[in-house]
Amino acid sequence: MPDSNQPKREKLLIVEDDPGLQKQLKWAYDDFDVIVAGDRESAIEMLRAEEPDVVTLDLGLPPDPDGTTEGFATMDEILSLKPDTKVIVASGHGEKASALRAISGGAWDFYHKPVDIDELGLIVRRAFHVHRLEQENATLAARGNGDGYILGQIITGAPEMLKIARMIERVANTNASVMLLGASGTGKELLAKGLHEASDRRDQAFVAINCAAIPENLLESELFGHEKGAFTGAIKTTEGKIEQADGGTLFLDEVGDIPLPLQVKLLRFLQERVIERIGGRKAIAVDTRIVCATHQNLEKMIKENSFREDLYYRFAEIVIKIPPLSGRSGDASLLARHFQKKFAAEINPAVKGLAPDALAALEAWHWPGNVRELENRIKRAVIMADGKMIGANDLDLEVDENAATDLLNLKAAREAADRSAILRAISQTSGNISNAAKLLGISRPTLYDLLKQYKLQQAS
């Protein structure tokens, strides 16, 4: 007798252009609901229609079956439409470069062809397992029940960031240099710290330096140190940041601001792993791992000859792009609750939470200054709040008509429209749920159900 309680089978999308291999893989995964696509277009069509959680992707797809361009274009499109997808990339080319490109582009895992069904089966099953855990974690975090922490101190429930945490964990124990790209306030320094803590260098120093904040003429000495008497004012021998981070990690923020002569000196350090202090004669060996960040367009700077291409490739063995806060579903409320509790404890314990209209305004805002802006706004609101709850007025935000983004499918578009209408109604009625329900033409219980469904509940 068929078991009506049987759980829904998980969906696996196989993107592979070889019909023989398609059949073989389909047969091997008969415990999953397998769908197959032979090229980018049909893969994206199936992603939109079926929303698979795991995808195995052959990099050699038509019209470039012997290269990787079409495969990577498919991977990028999948991850931009549905960032929580676990993409497992297969390549017959077996080059390290493809593996690095895949992982830094957000792939979950990489394996070399020819396919070993058992080995791939393990990877696929683990990917489903981790996807399930991440979904549970995201739900808990959005409800405010889970702690929502990743990599130590980073708070998020968004699949976009969980993907990045996973990438960071994977590269932490390689010695590859990592470049974090993201707008100001997206948490690059916190992620660099997270990478250090996830690596086996965690017991040694984590040293951070912002190259844009230090005058050009002092930056060399800050990085490389100096010997006593090397220049006027050098009254004692001083270690630079690179040496201070020996055995550990150096976070170089705003590398785009490093002047060209110093870029040459840094290149030498990265190639030979030795430094010379200013005024020093001996080469000192250092084992410092570099994580760097910038919000500048280094590729453009290379074209304009203001950044060295060879240094870029030394810095950017792995490039990780950090999404802006507005691209992290549910994180604005989650982080707001965290900062409200933190600042209330430090500054104004009378403030107990965020009113629904405040949460609505937070979710609708586009956050040009990212997490730093959110932190500052909540801090200010905690200081200024009259009552127990922070209201939308305390945040000094206007409800923003969200710019349309590329949505996965009609269901996702409807949900986005529902969320936006609900948030606006709550904001217009200053958080009064009965009035908001009236404004929306639905009953109060229906509105509560929708708040729950879209994870828009009020903080307790």
Q: Toward ligand ATP, which CB reaches closer, 289 or 338?
A: 338
Query: Interface mask (CB under 6 A) for ligand ATP, residues 312-351, using x and -?
Result: -----------------------x----------------
Q: Which stretch binds ligand ATP (CB under 6 A): 124-132, 181-189, 306-314, 344-352?
A: 181-189
In angstroms, the CA 193 to CA 198 distance is 9
CB of 331 to ligand ATP, least distance (A): 7
Q: Give me the phi and psi of 110, to 5 degrees please.
A: -140, 140
CB of 278 to ligand ATP, least distance (A): 26
The residue sitting closest to ligand ATP, measured at its beta carbon, is 187
In angstroms, the CA 380 to CA 283 distance is 50
C-alpha separations of 93 from 23, 59, 64, 244 in Å: 22, 9, 13, 41
Question: Is residue 375 a contact partner of residue 395, using CB atoms and an 8 Å limit?
Answer: no
- State the residue for tokens 């269901």: 411
Q: Give me the phi and psi of 226, to 5 degrees please.
A: -150, 160
Taking residue 57's Cβ as centre, other Cβ atoms within 10 Å add up to: 25
In angstroms, the CA 97 to CA 110 distance is 12
Q: Toward ligand ATP, which CB reaches closer, 152 or 387?
A: 152
Q: Within 13 Å of residue 373, how many CA atoms lie on the same side as its CB?
A: 17
Tokens of 202: 């965690």
Q: Within 13 Å of residue 431, how many CA atoms lie on the same side as its CB?
A: 17
In angstroms, the CA 101 to CA 68 distance is 10
Q: Per rule CB under 6 A, is residue 371 in the interface with ligand ATP?
A: yes
Q: Which stretch binds ligand ATP (CB under 6 A): 15-23, 178-186, 220-228, 387-395?
A: 178-186
Buried b or exposed e, range 131-159, using 16+ CB within 10 angstroms: beebeebbeebbbbeeebebbeebbbbbb
H or E, element range at 301: helix 298-303
Q: Toward ligand ATP, which CB reaches closer, 111 or 149?
A: 149
Taking residue 261's Cβ as centre, other Cβ atoms within 10 Å add up to: 9
CB of 59 to ligand ATP, least distance (A): 32
Number of residues that bind ligand ATP (CB under 6 A): 17
Q: Per rule CB under 6 A, is residue 187 in the interface with ligand ATP?
A: yes
Question: Would you say the C-alpha torsion 88, 321, 301, 305 has a positive or negative sign?
Answer: negative
Q: Give me the phi and psi of 62, to 5 degrees please.
A: -65, 145
Q: Toward ligand ATP, which CB reaches closer, 57 or 154?
A: 154
Q: Per rule CB under 6 A, is residue 185 in the interface with ligand ATP?
A: yes
Q: Per rule CB under 6 A, is residue 17 in the interface with ligand ATP?
A: no
Q: Which stretch binds ligand ATP (CB under 6 A): 12-20, 74-82, 307-315, 370-378?
A: 370-378
C-alpha 36, offset from chain centre:
29
Q: Toward ligand ATP, which CB reaches closer, 156 or 429?
A: 156
CB of 90 to ligand ATP, least distance (A): 33
DSSP tag of 322 = P
Q: Per rule CB under 6 A, is residue 194 in the interface with ligand ATP?
A: no
In angstroms, the CA 291 to CA 269 distance is 14
Q: Which stretch binds ligand ATP (CB under 6 A): 168-176, 177-185, 198-206, 283-291?
A: 177-185
Residues 269-298 that bind ligand ATP (CB under 6 A): 295
Q: Give me the phi and psi of 82, to 5 degrees please.
A: -140, 85
> In this chain, which of 59, 75, 154, 390 binds ligand ATP, going by CB under 6 A?
154
> In this chain, which of 53, 220, 375, 394 binds ligand ATP, going by CB under 6 A?
375
Q: Per rule CB under 6 A, is residue 186 in the interface with ligand ATP?
A: yes
CB of 374 to ligand ATP, least distance (A): 8
Q: Per rule CB under 6 A, is residue 188 in the interface with ligand ATP?
A: yes
Q: Which stretch binds ligand ATP (CB under 6 A): 15-23, 182-190, 221-229, 298-306?
A: 182-190
Q: Toward ligand ATP, which CB reaches closer, 184 or 402?
A: 184
CB of 363 to ligand ATP, least distance (A): 16
> In this chain, which of 140, 176, 190, 319 binds ligand ATP, going by CB under 6 A?
190
Tokens of 378: 């909540």
Q: Per rule CB under 6 A, is residue 184 in the interface with ligand ATP?
A: yes
Q: Which residues contact 19 (CB under 8 A, 6 or more apart)?
A: 38
In angstroms, the CA 142 to CA 148 distance is 8
Q: Which stretch binds ligand ATP (CB under 6 A): 104-112, 153-161, 225-233, 381-389?
A: 153-161
Q: Per rule CB under 6 A, is residue 372 in the interface with ligand ATP?
A: yes
CB of 335 to ligand ATP, least distance (A): 6
Contact residues for ligand ATP, defined by CB under 6 A: 154-156, 182, 184-190, 253, 295, 335, 371-372, 375
